[in-house]
């Protein structure tokens, strides 16, 4: 799998180099839209990104999750629907009794 660090080695720093750059420097880069990957022993362990980029990634993740749920529901939908009164009866209840309980405020 190709990673961001593989595609952008110029934006990858070791922990030691990141420490030398300092938090202020890394934050300044992020504010300019420059993402930085921090590696320890050649393995990416952290990313410094702007809040704007972080928010975009969060929205993208949320959209992917929502899309996956929609697709799963679409693929598993048989088209069969159950009438509410039939469902109430299947659980051994009577619609009139439930309505009366709701009206009286009983739990």
Structural domains of the chain, with CATH: 4-76 (3.40.1620.10)
Q: Which residue has the higher pLDDT, 1 or 51?
A: 51
- Does 45 have pLDDT greater than 90? yes
Which of 18, 14, 7 is closest to 43 using CA atoms? 14
**Structure confidence at residue 1 as a pLDDT band (50, 70, 90):** confident
CB-based contact 48:65 (threshold 8 Å): no
CB-based contact 21:27 (threshold 8 Å): no
Q: What is the pTM of this model?
A: 0.61
pLDDT recorded at residue 106 = 66
pLDDT recorded at residue 10 = 72
Supply angle C-alpha 102, 106, 107, rounded to 5: 95
- Does 14 have pLDDT greater than 70? yes
107 vs 101: CA distance, rounded Å: 7
Q: Is 102 exposed, middle or buried (0-12, 13-18, 19+ CB in 10 A)?
A: exposed
């Amino acid at each position: 799998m190709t990673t961001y660090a593989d595609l952008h080695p110029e934006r990858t720093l070791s922990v030691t180099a990141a420490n030398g750059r300092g938090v202020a420097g890394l934050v300044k880069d992020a504010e300019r839209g420059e993402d930085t990957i921090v590696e320890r022993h050649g393995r990416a362990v952290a990313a410094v990104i702007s809040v704007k980029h972080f928010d975009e990634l969060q929205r993208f993740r949320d959209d992917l999750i929502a899309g996956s749920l929609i697709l799963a529901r679409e693929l598993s939908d048989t088209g069969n629907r159950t009438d509410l009164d039939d469902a109430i009866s299947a659980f051994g209840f009577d619609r009139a009794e439930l309505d009366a309980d709701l009206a009286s405020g009983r739990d």
